[in-house]
Chains A and B, each alone.
Chain A
Amino acid sequence: MSEIIAVKSRHIQIFGLVVSIVFGVFILFVYATAPRSILELTTKAGETVSKAINTGQVVTGTYGVDEAKFQRGLALFRDQDYPGARALFADADPEKRDGRTQFYIAYSFYRQGWGRFSNDDGLFKRGVETGKHAQTLIGGDFVSDDADLKLKTPAALVSELEEGLRVTADDFNPLRALNERK
Chain B
Amino acid sequence: MIDTPEKIDGENEAIVVTSDAIVPADETALEKIKARRAVLHHVFLPTLLLLVALLGGIRFSGRDGSIMFLPPALICLFFAAALIALFLRAGLIDLQGWVSERLSLIGNISNGVTLAALFFASAQIFNSILPEQGLPFWIVSFCVFWTLWNNLFAELNSLKLLRSLTAMFVLAFAVKYLLLANMTKPGNEGWLNSLINNPAQTAATWMLDLPQFDAATGYVQFFTLALFVIALYFIPRAIED
Contacts and interface: CB of A to CB of B under 8 A. Distances in A.
A143 B51 CA distance: 57
Q: Is the interface of A mostly helix, strand, loop or mixed?
A: helix
Interface size class of A (residues with CB under 8 A): 20 to 34
Contacts of B107: 13
Contacts of B47: 16, 19-20, 23
B43 interface: yes
Contact of A21 (B71, B104, B113): B113
B160 interface: no
A14 interface: yes
A9 B35 contact: yes
Nearest to A38: B67
Interface residues of B, number: 31
Nearest to B28: A1
A58 interface: no
Contacts of B35: 5, 8-9, 12
26 contacts: A5-B32, A8-B35, A9-B31, A9-B38, A10-B104, A10-B106, A12-B38, A12-B43, A13-B42, A15-B42, A16-B43, A16-B47, A16-B110, A17-B106, A17-B113, A19-B47, A20-B110, A20-B113, A20-B114, A21-B113, A27-B50, A30-B54, A31-B71, A34-B68, A36-B68, A38-B67
Interface of B: 27-28, 31-32, 34-35, 38-39, 41-43, 46-47, 50-51, 53-54, 57, 66-69, 71, 104, 106-107, 109-110, 113-114, 117
